């Protein structure tokens, strides 16, 4: 794995290092960064940016990494000279703050593969976020902590001369894979820190024989061999579906799959809160307490009670909490090899079957294409679901070409004889605006049947457009919703929409060098 000297973490101002949650929360409140909600969580506002800013993310382009990167709309290059200017601006800004906050910890629950991470922030709540999301360092490691990766978060500094630096605006998230640094300017959205380190793992892990994955993971309480993975972009159900009282949680978002099994990259969870209810998602509901951080959630000014139904600020309301806030969570967050791999897609067209058992070739096809819908609020400017192909269900976080990760999936799935499923958590009965979202109870019923093995024994019918195997029945789910066409009042409209989506798949798969067998596993326009 490439190495580089750790950047200096010395500053001209006071740096409060590795403070406990109570101290950081008290400091955040004292500084006016947020306040306590009635449930004890720290409630904060992330300002103008309430989601990631992908158009403002740049990667330092150096000879050492250039040929290994999938350059394009996701991986946007910036010169070393401009990176250095932005880093200097961030450091000079941080030096002017009354005080800074430092977190030291790990990314990777398996000690054999973990990376050391240091985070410097100007906001106390950002440091609490980091200490919640990443894995806290062993106290014995703290003296002289030598980080593999460093984040400098100058979130209140807007870049004034952004045009001269080749930026798209006053916000910049710049990353160097060789220097192992992340510099954040102009955005208070804390998810940029989380995803930058995930991006780092996605580059570093394949070099040590680990498949990095944008997925959640859990395991059967009575069977350590029954591990499940849930791949999907934000809002598709990764966190919700993996939070199961009968299955200890390994992690909710980012994992590695090594020769030893799977392990969580993180020490916490980052769940969407919009429409959250105690009845529907009791584990997440109860995890929102002192030590967790609520982002952009509307709080009643009198009672301080969060209103999770309101999207006044954004649909992308969020909460972060330590994984141990989930009862029975797996600590340390490691597990064996997965028995089931589930791809989650939120189909805004409303034409994909709700659940399908994939062949090996279909698994490769649908993984590479990574079809879903961008949901409101997850990125700046997204106000309604948009059809989206995100390779490997994590394209925004993948520096290497998609086929690198697809080949890793095939290798791991084939080596463990795992089943791969496509689960549609999107719309039925019509597209977004006409149809309705699949009921969470139905989706949970599919997951239960997958994980207990009963759905594997179903009889199947091939979808005529997408070629996907659709079960003829599933306990707890009305039979009529299993065939998408049956749920549409206007069958001709369904046929046109399905053909349209199939054509979009074919247009997208032309971007990849697929084998004939894998390409043939796609839809039939």
281 is in which domain, residue-wise?
Answer: 269-325
> How many whole angstroms separate alpha carbon 153 and alpha carbon 488?
49
Asked whether residue 458 carries a pLDDT value surpassing 90, the answer given is yes
Using one digit for the tens of pLDDT, what is the confidence trace for 440-449? 999 999 999 9
At 277 the pLDDT is: 96
Establish whether 337 is a catalytic residue: no
Domains of the chain: total: 3
* Catalytic residue (one of 49, 52, 57, 339): 52
Percent of the chain with pLDDT over 70: 96
Establish whether 318 is a catalytic residue: yes
Residue 155's contacts (CB-CB under 8 Å, 6 or more residues apart) are 121, 122, 123, 126, 184, 185, 186, 187, 188
* Catalytic residue (one of 82, 194, 318, 374): 318
* Catalytic residue (one of 104, 253, 419, 463): 253
At 270 the pLDDT is: 95
Same domain, 141 and 111: yes
Give the burial class of 178: count Cβ atoms within 10 A of its Cβ; 0-12 exposed, 13-18 middle, 19 or more buried.
middle
**Inside any domain, residue 1:** no
The CATH number of whichever domain residue 18 belongs to comes to 3.40.449.10
The CATH number of whichever domain residue 509 belongs to comes to 3.90.228.20
Structure tokens at 258: 């090594």
Using one digit for the tens of pLDDT, what is the confidence trace for 185-230? 999 999 999 999 999 999 999 999 999 999 999 999 999 999 999 9
Same domain, 294 and 353: no
At 9 the pLDDT is: 86
* Catalytic residue (one of 181, 238, 330, 337): 238
Using one digit for the tens of pLDDT, what is the confidence trace for 41-70? 999 999 999 999 999 999 999 999 999 999
Establish whether 30 is a catalytic residue: no
> How many whole angstroms separate alpha carbon 368 and alpha carbon 239?
22
At 91 the pLDDT is: 98
At 376 the pLDDT is: 61
**Inside any domain, residue 6:** no
**C-alpha torsion sign, points 57, 63, 64, 65:** positive
Angle between helices 124-133 and 21-30 (to 10 degrees): 150
**C-alpha torsion sign, points 240, 241, 243, 245:** positive
- Please say which residue of 283, 300, 325 terminates a domain: 325
Q: Cβ of 290: how many Cβ atoms within 10 Å?
A: 13
**Inside any domain, residue 282:** yes
* Catalytic residue (one of 176, 234, 236, 333): 234
Establish whether 491 is a catalytic residue: no
Q: Using 50, 70 and 90 to split pLDDT, how confident is the model at 374?
A: confident
Same domain, 403 and 309: no
Same domain, 296 and 378: no
Establish whether 239 is a catalytic residue: yes
* Catalytic residue (one of 132, 239, 345, 390): 239
Asked whether residue 3 carries a pLDDT value surpassing 60, the answer given is no
Asked whether residue 274 carries a pLDDT value surpassing 80, the answer given is yes
For residues 62 and 80, the answer to whether their CB atoms sit within 8 Å is: yes
**Inside any domain, residue 261:** no
Residue whose C-alpha is closest to residue 408's, from 423, 421, 390, 391: 391
Asked whether residue 7 carries a pLDDT value surpassing 60, the answer given is no
**Inside any domain, residue 372:** yes
**Inside any domain, residue 230:** no
Same domain, 99 and 168: yes
Asked whether residue 148 carries a pLDDT value surpassing 50, the answer given is yes
Q: What is the mean pLDDT of the chain?
A: 95
* Catalytic residue (one of 195, 255, 337, 374): 195
The CATH number of whichever domain residue 273 belongs to comes to 2.170.8.10
Same domain, 108 and 186: yes
Q: Using alpha carbons only, what angle is made at residue 21 by residues 17 and 27, rounded to the nearest 5 degrees?
A: 75
Same domain, 348 and 275: no
At 298 the pLDDT is: 97
Establish whether 97 is a catalytic residue: no
- Please say which residue of 208, 224, 254 terminates a domain: 208
Same domain, 303 and 389: no
Same domain, 347 and 320: no
Q: Cβ of 184: how many Cβ atoms within 10 Å?
A: 29
**Inside any domain, residue 245:** no
Using one digit for the tens of pLDDT, what is the confidence trace for 91-117? 999 999 999 999 999 999 999 999 999
Establish whether 61 is a catalytic residue: no
> How many whole angstroms separate alpha carbon 370 and alpha carbon 218?
22
What b-and-e string marks burial along 489-519, b requiring 16 or more CB atoms within 10 Å of the CB? eeeeebeebbeebbebbeebbeebebeeebb
- Tell me the whole-structure pTM to 2 decimals: 0.93
Asked whether residue 524 carries a pLDDT value surpassing 90, the answer given is no
Same domain, 348 and 492: yes
**Inside any domain, residue 246:** no
> How many whole angstroms separate alpha carbon 23 and alpha carbon 29?
10
At 247 the pLDDT is: 96
């Amino acid at each position: 794995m490439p190495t580089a000297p750790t950047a200096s973490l010395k500053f001209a101002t006071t740096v409060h290092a590795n403070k406990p949650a109570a101290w950081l929360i008290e400091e955040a409140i004292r500084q006016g960064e947020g306040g306590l909600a009635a449930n004890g969580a720290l409630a904060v506002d992330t300002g103008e940016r309430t989601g990631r800013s992908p158009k403002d993310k740049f990667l330092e382009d150096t000879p050492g990494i250039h040929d290994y990167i999938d350059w394009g709309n996701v991986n946007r290059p910036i010169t070393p000279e401009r990176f250095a200017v932005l880093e200097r601006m961030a450091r000079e800004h941080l030096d002017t703050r009354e005080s800074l906050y430092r977190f030291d910890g790990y990314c990777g629950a398996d000690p054999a593969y973990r990376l050391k991470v240091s985070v410097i922030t100007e906001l106390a709540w950002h440091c609490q976020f980091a200490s919640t999301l990443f894995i806290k360092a062993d106290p014995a490691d703290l003296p002289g902590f030598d980080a593999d990766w460093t984040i400098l978060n100058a979130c209140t500094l807007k870049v004034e001369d952004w045009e001269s630096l080749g930026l798209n605006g006053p916000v910049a998230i710049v990353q160097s894979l060789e220097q192992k640094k992340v510099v954040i300017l102009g955005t208070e959205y804390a998810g940029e820190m989380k995803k930058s380190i995930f991006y780092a793992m996605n580059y570093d892990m394949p070099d040590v024989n680990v498949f990095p994955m944008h997925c959640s993971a859990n395991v059967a309480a009575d069977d350590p061999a029954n591990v499940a993975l849930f791949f999907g972009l934000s809002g598709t159900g990764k966190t919700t579906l993996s939070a199961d009282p009968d299955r200890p949680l390994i992690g909710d978002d980012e994992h590695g799959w090594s020769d030893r099994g799977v392990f969580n990259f993180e020490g916490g969870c980052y769940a969407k809160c919009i429409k959250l209810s105690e009845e529907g998602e009791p584990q997440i509901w109860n995890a929102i307490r002192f030590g967790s951080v609520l982002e952009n959630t509307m709080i009643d000014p009198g009672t301080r009670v969060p209103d999770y139904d309101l999207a006044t600020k954004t649909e992308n309301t969020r909460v972060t909490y330590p994984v141990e806030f989930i009862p029975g969570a797996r600590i340390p967050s490691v597990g064996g090899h997965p028995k089931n791999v589930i791809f989650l897609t939120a189909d805004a067209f409303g034409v994909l079957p709700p659940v399908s058992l994939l062949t090996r070739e279909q698994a490769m096809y649908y993984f590479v294409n990574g079809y879903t819908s961008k949901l409101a609020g997850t990125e700046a400017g997204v106000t309604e679901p948009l059809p989206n192909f995100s390779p490997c269900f994590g394209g925004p976080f993948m520096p290497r070409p998609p086929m690198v990760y697809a080949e890793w999936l095939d290798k791991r799935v084939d080596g463990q004889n795992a089943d791969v499923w496509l689960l549609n958590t999107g719309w039925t009965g019509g597209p977004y605006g006409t149809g309705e979202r699949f009921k969470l109870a139905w989706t949970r019923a599919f997951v239960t049947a997958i994980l207990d093995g009963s759905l594997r024994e179903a009889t199947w019918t091939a979808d005529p457009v997408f070629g996907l195997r659709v079960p003829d029945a599933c306990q707890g789910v009305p039979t009529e919703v299993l065939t998408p066409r049956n749920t549409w009042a206007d069958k001709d409209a369904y046929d046109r929409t399905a053909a349209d989506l199939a054509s979009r798949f074919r247009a997208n798969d032309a971007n990849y060098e697929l084998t004939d067998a894998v390409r043939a596993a796609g839809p039939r326009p």
